[in-house]
Amino acid sequence: MWQHGGVSRADRLLRLVHLLRRYRSPVSASTLAEELGTSTRSIYRDIQTLREQGATIDGEAGIGYVLRPGFLLPPLMFTDEELEALVLGLRLTAEHGDEALEQASRDAVAKLLAVLPRNLRTLVDDTALLAGPSLSRPAETVDLREVRRAIRQGRKARIDYLTGGAERSTRVVWPLGLGFFERARILIAWCETRQDFRSFRTDRVVRWATLAERLPRPRMALLSAWREREGIPGQLPD
């Protein structure tokens, strides 16, 4: 119901807004329909949908339509593939994130469903992109919420860490990023003891204490330096 000629309604609404912005005088529904490759009846429905979302569109059927300046489509007007990417990402987070992220991802899906138009809610419910469970990852001995909070706040941390040979050491680290992998979760950090970047398996961090002291350099600059050294292209998210 929400597709026409292989183009989703969300895509068509985006294109309709861009098209209306090109016209300073009223443009007929038939002209809009011809340019968008759809029917005038679909244009009438789409105009009504945009009005319900806050667009000031003057005019009516048989006269033409003008979009008044200042309207921006709400960020929840996603394309089909954008929605699938979001749903898959949230499902992967629910399966592979820590407990707090798992609950947060489920809450995010619920909020998404609560505000999406009915046709897009159907797409979310019917998305056949699934995230498989991880069965081999060791359990963490520290609360990853504290780790993520220290990363967000740009604070140092004191950790007790067990090496693969069960040797325990205490270090002050600068937490830079947290990687979620199938077999382990990895903390990317600058280690003051080694004076170098290090990666720590979070299941081997037996004690974590966030310090009041902030990082001496911007976290993203440090992360960029680590990425360059490791030969990792692209940009990691905050």
CATH number at residue 156: 2.30.30
d(CA 216, CA 225): 14
Residues 158 and 190 in one domain: yes
* 180 and 122, same domain (yes or no): no
74 within a domain of the structure (yes/no): no
Final residue belonging to a domain, choices 35, 67, 99: 67
Domain that holds residue 17: 3-67
Lowest-confidence segment of 7-21, 57-71, 135-149 by average pLDDT: 7-21
In this structure, the answer to whether residues 27 and 53 fall within a common structural domain is yes
- What is the count of structural domains for the chain? 3
- Whether 158 and 101 share a structural domain: no
The Cβ of residue 178 has, within 10 Å, a number of other Cβ atoms equal to 18
Residue 238 included in any domain: no
pLDDT exceeds 80 at position 227? yes
Percent of the chain with pLDDT over 70: 89
Q: Residue 134 falls within a domain, yes or no?
A: no
29-36 and 40-52 helices cross at what angle (nearest 10)? 100
Whether 104 maps to a domain, the answer reads yes
Domain shared by 220 and 168, yes or no: yes
CA distances from 149 to 58, 140, 155, 206 (A): 48, 16, 9, 18
What is the residue-averaged pLDDT of the chain? 84
Residues 148 and 211 placed together within one structural domain of the fold: yes
| Cα radius of gyration (the chain) | 25
User: Which segment, 30-34, 91-95, 180-184, is predicted with the most confidence on average?
Assistant: 30-34
* 193 vs 168: CA distance, rounded Å: 13
Q: Is 149 domain-assigned?
A: yes
Question: Could you tell me the CATH number of the domain that includes residue 43?
Answer: 1.10.10.10
Spatial distance between the Cα atoms of 161 and 203, rounded to a whole number of angstroms = 9
CB atoms inside a 10 Å sphere around CB 95: 16
**Gap between the Cα atoms of 191 and 203, Å rounded:** 18
**How does residue 192 score in pLDDT terms, banded at 50, 70 and 90?**
very high
Q: What 3-state DSSP class applies to 103?
A: helix
Cβ neighbours around 132 below 10 Å, total? 10
User: Does residue 236 lie in a domain region?
Assistant: no
Per-residue model confidence (pLDDT) at position 5: 40
Question: Within a domain: residue 63?
Answer: yes
Rounded mean pLDDT of 174-198? 93
Write out the two tokens for 56.
């000031």
pLDDT in tens, 16-40: 888 888 888 899 999 999 988 889 9
Residue 158 resides in a domain? yes
Q: What are phi and psi of 159, to 5 degrees?
A: -125, 150
**φ, ψ for residue 207, nearest 5 deg:** -150, 140
pTM value > 0.85: no
